[in-house]
Amino acid sequence: MLTCRELNERATDHLEGQMSLRQRAGFKLHLLMCSKCRTYADQLAKTVNLLRTVKSAATQSTPDARLIEAFRSATARNGKSNAR
Ligand SMILES: [Zn+2]
């Protein structure tokens, strides 16, 4: 049985699929019984997904530029309404 500490240390391995079937089973079992680690693993997965999105956005310049443009026009509009 994994301890919370062991689980936290192995959480990134789990996300990257670098675990044996047996290790993964122990990991999942701990998550089923420990809500604290469940929350931790959930947040970690979200963070990793976000990092992947940012990384892939950085390699594709077009959607990134469009995003910056949208951000600019949004802040410009805000600036006008604030000046009023
Ligand atoms: Zn735990």
- Model pLDDT for residues 50-77, shown as the tens digit of each residue: 888 888 877 765 667 777 788 888 888 7
pTM, 2 dp: 0.60
Retrieve residue 5's tokens: 């500490």
Q: What is the pLDDT of residue 54?
A: 86
DSSP 8-state symbol, 19: S
Residue 49 near residue 15 (C-beta atoms within 8 A): no
Distance CA 81, CA 75 (A): 10
> Residue 39 Cα, ligand 1 centroid: separation in angstroms?
10
The mean pLDDT of 78-83, rounded to a whole number, is 58
CA dihedral angle for residue 11, residue 15, residue 19, residue 22, rounded to 10 degrees: 70
- Structural domain containing residue 63: 4-83
Distance 50 CA to ligand 1 centre (A): 24
What is the number of domains present in the chain?
1
Phi, psi of 75, rounded to the nearest 5 degrees = -70, -35
